[in-house]
Amino acid sequence: MDHGNAPTPAENRAMNDAIERALSARHQSGKAGIAASILCEGQSIATAENEVQLHSDPTQHAEMVAITRAAAALGTTDLSGCVMISTLQPCEMCLAAMRFAGITRVIFAATQERVAGKYFVFPHLNLRDFQKGGDFVAIGGVGEDRVLYLYATGKE
């Protein structure tokens, strides 16, 4: 994680919104309390919540849904210059998708070290592995105390 690079005011606002959506989603049928947003030039262009159970699709993590919506909104799969905001450190699948989409900055709340192991299926891979070979900024722990209880047991 990059602790020397603070979130911008727009990123902090997006994180606060994502946290509120995650807390709300936790109480809706079929939704886990995980939310993500994608910012482009400081503006939110896509928001999403985890839809895995809602659609019986293990790829419908909040970050994946947000990437799909952002690509549709921009009319391109190249999301270079966009920023991912997530209430949970993105898993290996989501980090890979971000890299393929050109996203090089992620801000997240709950960190891998403090949540249930079920959220990461390749524990030998870590965030630093995804930072190798290119510019990739990851800022974690932003608002973590507000959402940590959502991910403590892995039971949504």
Structure tokens at 27: 């109480």
**Active-site pick, 63, 92, 113, 144:** 63
Whole-angstrom distance, CA of residue 139 vs CA of residue 94: 15
Catalytic site includes residue 63: yes
Structure tokens at 4: 């020397």
Interior CA angle at 101 toward 67 and 55, to 5°?
30
What is the residue type of 109? A
Catalytic residues: 63
